[in-house]
Chains A and B, each alone.
Chain A
C-alpha cells in the first residue's frame, strides 16, 4: 500500500489492484493508523473496490478497524451505475447517533446544588445493561410497526415529547421508506422491550456544561454559552438494529454471486442498490433508524422528567443526528448531479449553511454536528461547512486505540471511578469491567480528532462540552 501525504491533514492511499478509486484519510500524522498494527487502512483500501464507488473511499480523523468498512468510513456509490449498498458500511448499530439537549435556564452553578440528586435519579430512570427493559414497552408487533415506520414523529404523536423536538431532528425524526415486511420476527422480538433504553458499551447519557466557545455568534444562535447545562444522549437501535444487520448481511452474501460481485472481505457483503436485496436492506435499515430515533426521543422524555422534578426547568433539543447510516443523496460528480448511496459508518453527516434539509432557524449557521468524546473527556459541537470534501461528512467520536480486552486488563474500575469523581464527574455505570473498557486512554485524543476535523475542512468548531455526570451501561 502506497500512502502519500497531500497536506498536514490529508493522506492518499494510491489506487492499485482491485481498487476503483483511491483512499483518502483525513488525519494528522499522529492520528494516522499504523499500517501494520491496525487494519483500518487496509479496510479503507478494500472499500475502494466496491462496485459503483465514486471519488474516493474516505476515512475520518477517528478511523479505526471495524466490520468490513472501517469505523469512521465514508463511501458513496452511484446507484444508476451498478452502485451497491453494503450493511457493513452502516454498522450493526443502525442509526446509532447523538442527541444534544440544551437547558434554556440552567447554568453550571445553578445545577450544582441538584447534581447529585439528578444523577441518582437518572441512574434509576435510564434503563441500561443486561436484561434491560426500555421505558416504553410495546405489547405487539403491530405497535412496534408504528414505531418502525413513524420513528420519533410517532413517539411525539402519542405524547412522548413536543413538535419542536422533531424540527431539530435529522429527517424530522423519521426516515421515509421503512418497510416492516423486511424486518424479521427475531428482530421484532428483540425490539419489543427495548425502546427507551441506553444499551452498554460506549453508549451513554451525560450531563454536560459548555467549557469553551469558539464561535460566539453561532453558539448563541444554538443556545450555547460558557456554563450552559446540556445533556448528550448517545445510543442507537439496540438489538433490533443488530438483528437487521445480521439478517440482511446473510441475504446479501447468498445473492452476491448472482450479481457477479467479488469482495476482498466477506464482511463487505453488498448488493446493487436497485436489486431486491439492496432495496430490502434499505427498507429495513430505515425501520431500524426510526427505532433509534424513537429510542432517543423516549430517553429525552425520561431525562426531562428528572430535570423538571429537581430543578423545575426543562431541556430543549439542539439537534439529533446519526453516525451509522446509508442515505440516498444527490451530489455533483464531474459537475453533473448524480444519485448516490452515501454510507457513513462511524461518521456524522455535516450539512453546510443554507442546505435545504436544514431546519429554517438553523439555516444561517449550518447543521450542528454532535461529536461525543470518551468517558470523562470532552464532547464537541461543530457546524457544517460549504466545502466539505467528503460528501458532507465528518468524524463521530474518538476511535479506539485499545480493544476492550486490552483496556480492561490493566484497569481498576473503582480507581477509575474515583479519579473521575475527583475531577467533579459523577459516574453511574452498571458494570466495573464495562467502565474499565471505556477508560479515556483506550481511545484517540478527542481534542486532536476535532482539531483535525476543523483543519481538514470537514466541519468547524463551535463549542466544547465537559461532563458533570455520566450514566453508562
Chain B
C-alpha cells in the first residue's frame, strides 16, 4: 500500500518512476508545471499522469521531483515541481512509454 488516497498513490508512482532513472536526492525544483488530466478509471488516470511525465521529459527535458494532485470530477489537477533532467545523475534506462501490464490502482483493505 503506497498511500491512503488515489491521488497519493499516483504521486508515489510518479516519484518512483523518476527515481528509477534519475538520482533526485539533491534535486531542487526550478519551476512548476500544471495540467488537468482526465480518465474514466483510476488505472487510466495513473496512465495519463505517467504519460505526461514522459512527454515532459522528452519535450522539455524536465522531470518532476515533487507532485501534488487534487481530485476534480472525472480526473485530477496536477502540479509538478520540475528540474532540468540533464543536471541530475542518470541512474537507469529512460522510460519512453507506459504499458498496462500489471498496472492497476485499487483500494486495498486499509485504503
Footprint of B on A, CB under 8 Å?
67, 92-93, 129-131, 186, 189-190, 193-194, 199-201, 238-239, 242-243, 245-246, 266-267, 404, 408, 430-434, 437, 473
Tell me if B57 is interfacial: C-beta within 8 Å of chain A. Answer: yes
Stretch at the interface among B2-10, B24-32, B65-73, B92-100: B92-100
| B58: A residues at CB distance < 8 A | 189-190, 193-194, 239
Contacting pair A131 B84 (CB below 8 A): yes
Q: What string of 1s and 0s marks CB contacts (under 8 Å) between B77-111 and chain A?
A: 00000001110111111101111110000000000
Which residue on B lies nearest to A236, using beta carbons?
B96
Given A93-B96, A190-B59, A267-B100, A246 and B90 contact (CB-CB distance below 8 Å) = no
Cβ of B86 to closest chain A Cβ, rounded Å: 4
Contacting pair A431 B91 (CB below 8 A): yes
A432 to B92, CA, bound (A): 7
| B98: A residues at CB distance < 8 A | 246
Cβ of A429 to closest chain B Cβ, rounded Å: 10
Contacting pair B93 A404 (CB below 8 A): yes
A193 to B89, CA, bound (A): 21
Contacting pair B97 A200 (CB below 8 A): no
| A199: B residues at CB distance < 8 A | 94, 96
Interface centre among B58, B59, B93 (most CB of A within 10 A): B93
Which residue on A lies nearest to B94, using beta carbons?
A200
Tell me if B61 is interfacial: C-beta within 8 Å of chain A. Answer: yes
Which residue on A lies nearest to B44, using beta carbons?
A250
**Interface Cβ pair total, 8 Å cutoff:** 79
* Interface CB pairs A-B, < 8 A, 5: A194-B58, A243-B55, A431-B91, A431-B92, A434-B92
A238 to B54, CA, bound (A): 12
Given A67-B99, A92-B99, A239-B58, A200 and B93 contact (CB-CB distance below 8 Å) = yes
Which residue on A lies nearest to B91, using beta carbons?
A433
User: Residues of B within 8 Å of A, CB-based: how many?
Assistant: 26
| A131: B residues at CB distance < 8 A | 61, 84-86
Contacting pair A189 B51 (CB below 8 A): no
Tell me if B46 is interfacial: C-beta within 8 Å of chain A. Answer: no
By secondary structure, the A interface counts as helix
Cβ of A8 to closest chain B Cβ, rounded Å: 32
Given A190-B58, A431-B21, A92 and B90 contact (CB-CB distance below 8 Å) = no
Contacting pair A267 B61 (CB below 8 A): no
Tell me if B76 is interfacial: C-beta within 8 Å of chain A. Answer: no
Footprint of A on B, CB under 8 Å?
21-22, 51, 54-55, 57-59, 61, 63, 84-86, 88-94, 96-101
Contacting pair A239 B101 (CB below 8 A): no
| A404: B residues at CB distance < 8 A | 92-93
Given A92-B96, A199-B96, A431-B91, A130 and B101 contact (CB-CB distance below 8 Å) = no
Contacting pair B57 A130 (CB below 8 A): yes
Contacting pair B90 A430 (CB below 8 A): yes
- From A189, A242, A431, A433, B97 is in contact (CB under 8 Å) with A242
- From B94, B97, B99, A130 is in contact (CB under 8 Å) with B94
Which residue on A lies nearest to B97, using beta carbons?
A242
A251 to B6, CA, bound (A): 26
Contacting pair B96 A239 (CB below 8 A): yes
A409 to B21, CA, bound (A): 14
Which residue on B lies nearest to A472, using beta carbons?
B93
Contacting pair A437 B92 (CB below 8 A): yes
Contacting pair A437 B93 (CB below 8 A): yes
A473 to B90, CA, bound (A): 10
A129 to B101, CA, bound (A): 25
Cβ of B32 to closest chain A Cβ, rounded Å: 19
| A200: B residues at CB distance < 8 A | 93-94
Cβ of B47 to closest chain A Cβ, rounded Å: 9
A243 to B59, CA, bound (A): 12
Which residue on A lies nearest to B43, using beta carbons?
A266
Cβ of B42 to closest chain A Cβ, rounded Å: 15
A92 to B98, CA, bound (A): 9
Interface centre among B22, B59, B86, B97 (most CB of A within 10 A): B97
| B57: A residues at CB distance < 8 A | 130
Given contacts A193-B58, A431-B90, 6 further A-B contacts (CB under 8 A): A130-B88, A131-B84, A266-B100, A404-B93, A434-B90, A473-B93
- From A67, A93, A186, A238, B55 is in contact (CB under 8 Å) with A186
